[in-house]
């Protein structure tokens, strides 16, 4: 059993916290929402998965100092709140603590690197899917692999493997790889294309890939995002990404 803190308990943070606690780890949620913290303290977390509803008792607090030193810290706040979360990590960290970000987007790890020893910072991306259905209630909508690796290019894989070992209790498929940043960019290409176009057109993603101007726009954004990734040195194939987006 490991001591695990989940910073930010939205849909993904709640899913992680609930599944890890159900798997036997000593889990503490750290969140700025007093209402959520009180709900979890009083009633636990409810995870609605394909296998049925699971209600899990675990700790919750708004104060990192109250949580104390952890073995693994998962960061699941939204990107704009990463700086604030990073500034409060100190009480959670000891010499061997590993901090892992599975946030969407690019740049969160650079912010965390200002507060976490670089060789103990793990970056990653996940294709698990979840949504909030109520206070302290999360629906697990889809399964997919999570990729983990070192923040430092060429860094040791052992910290990422330690995080993967903790995640094994949640039965999450996890891939530890030195090419993790390519995996992050692959998802970023998908999100950069599909999510803004869906938001701006008020369409679900399926109609966007029907032949026509919206699909042309979607594909063009995917190619542009891929070109940026390639210019940064990440080997991503635009045709593969577009085919993947259409399939999803």
User: Each residue of 119-174: pLDDT tens digit?
Assistant: 999 999 999 999 999 999 999 998 889 999 999 999 999 999 999 999 998 889 99
Mean pLDDT over 95-114 rounds to 94
The answer to whether 128 and 140 have CB atoms below 8 angstroms apart is yes
Give the pLDDT of residue 52. 81
pLDDT at 180: 95
Which pLDDT score, from 0 to 100, does residue 246 have?
A: 94
Residue 122's pLDDT is what? 98
Q: What pLDDT is attached to residue 220?
A: 97
Res 1: pLDDT: 81
User: Tell me, what's the pLDDT at 108?
Assistant: 95
Arithmetic mean of pLDDT, 85-110: 94
Q: What angle do CA 48, 49, 55 make, to 5 degrees?
A: 45
Work out the average pLDDT over 50-77: 93
Query: Do residues 239 and 246 touch, judged by C-beta distance below 8 A?
Result: no
Supply the pLDDT for residue 136.
93
How do beta strands 146-150 and 121-126 pair? antiparallel
Beta bridge partners of 148: 124, 176
- Residue 25: which of 221, 168, 201, 215 has the closest Cα? 168
Does residue 105 register a pLDDT over 90?
A: no
Q: How do residues 45-54 score in pLDDT, each as one tens digit?
A: 999 988 788 8
β-sheet bridge partners, residue 30? 7, 61
Kindly tell me if the per-residue pLDDT of 205 is higher than 90: no
To the nearest whole number, what is the mean pLDDT of the chain? Answer: 94
Q: Which residues are known catalytic residues?
A: 187
DSSP 146-202: EEEEESSTT--SHHHHHHHHHHGGGT--EEE-TTHHHHHHHHHHHHHHHHHHHHHHT
User: What is the band of 92 on the pLDDT scale with cuts at 50, 70, 90?
Assistant: very high
| pLDDT given at position 51 | 78
Lowest-pLDDT range of 33-37, 48-52, 81-85, 141-145: 48-52
DSSP per residue over 72-112, as a string?
Answer: EEEE-S-GGGHHHHHTT-GGG--TT-EEEE--SSSSHHHHH
Measured between alpha carbons, how far apart are the two ends of the chain, in Å? 36
Q: Select from 11, 42, 14, 12 the least CA-distant residue to 28.
A: 14
Percentage of the residues of the chain whose pLDDT score is greater than 90 = 91
């Amino acid at each position: 059993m490991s001591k695990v803190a989940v910073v930010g308990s939205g849909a993904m943070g709640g899913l992680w916290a609930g599944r890890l606690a159900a798997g036997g780890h000593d889990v503490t949620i750290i969140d700025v929402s007093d209402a959520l913290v009180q709900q979890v303290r009083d009633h636990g977390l409810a995870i609605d998965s394909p296998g049925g509803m699971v209600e899990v008792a675990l700790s919750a607090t708004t104060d990192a100092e109250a949580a104390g030193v952890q073995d693994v810290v998962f960061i699941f706040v939204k990107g704009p709140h990463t700086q604030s979360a990073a500034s409060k990590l100190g009480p959670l960290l000891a010499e061997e603590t590993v901090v892992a970000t599975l946030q969407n987007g690019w740049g969160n790890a650079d912010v965390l690197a200002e507060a976490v020893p670089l060789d103990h910072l793990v970056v990653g991306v996940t294709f698990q899917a979840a949504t909030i259905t109520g206070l302290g209630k999360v629906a697990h909508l889809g399964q997919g692999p999570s990729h983990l690796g070192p923040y430092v290019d060429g860094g040791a894989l052992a910290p990422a493997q330690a995080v993967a070992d903790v995640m094994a209790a949640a039965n999450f498929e996890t891939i530890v790889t030195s090419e993790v940043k390519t995996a992050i960019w692959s998802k970023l290409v998908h999100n950069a294309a599909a999510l803004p176009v869906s938001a701006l057109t008020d369409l679900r993603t399926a109609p966007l890939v029907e032949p026509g101007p919206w699909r042309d726009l979607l594909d063009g954004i995917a190619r542009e995002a891929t070109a940026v990734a390639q210019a940064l040195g990440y080997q991503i194939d635009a045709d593969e990404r577009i085919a993947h987006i259409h399939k999803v």
